[in-house]
Amino acid sequence: AAKRAPAAMIYENEHALAFLDNHPLAEGHALIIPRQHSRNLFDFDDASGQGVMRAARVVARALRVAFNADGMNLFQSSERAAGQDVFHFHFHLVPRRAGDGLMGTREGGERITRWRTRTNPTRAELDAIAERIRVNVVSG
């Protein structure tokens, strides 16, 4: 949120920032964070929540266009029991394609999700992907 670490920025507003995940599940996997520190969903304020959701909506639309996505996952984990391992509130936005292999089924039809890093892009690749998304951002 303080922009001290390198990031492939996509979008920002008064209350939120959006940038690419360094270890994406799929091309275009983005993180949306509030500018004001909040540990998780339980302790962030309404203004931050509205700004983060507005940013998520704007970025999701840009991702859909940039990657011709068939769908989108938006997920968030609060506290260790739910899988949170970075203790600054954030949403993940993952553009999805039919048959992308991120979701599948086990024998008997049980649906499973495979959340694991698919690629490890270089800084130059992340910057190029971010530009591909930024040109499709329409604020609103």
Per-residue model confidence as pLDDT tens digits over 77-115: 888 998 888 899 999 999 998 888 776 655 666 666 665
Tokens 């971010």 correspond to what residue?
130
Predicted TM-score of the model (pTM): 0.84
Q: How confident is the model at residue 17 (pLDDT cuts 50, 70, 90)?
A: very high
Given the residues 15, 29, 90, 92, select the one marked as catalytic.
Answer: 90
The reply to whether 88 belongs to the active site is no
- Other beta carbons within 10 angstroms of residue 42's beta carbon come to 9
Which one is predicted more confidently, 76 or 114? 76
pLDDT for position 20? 94
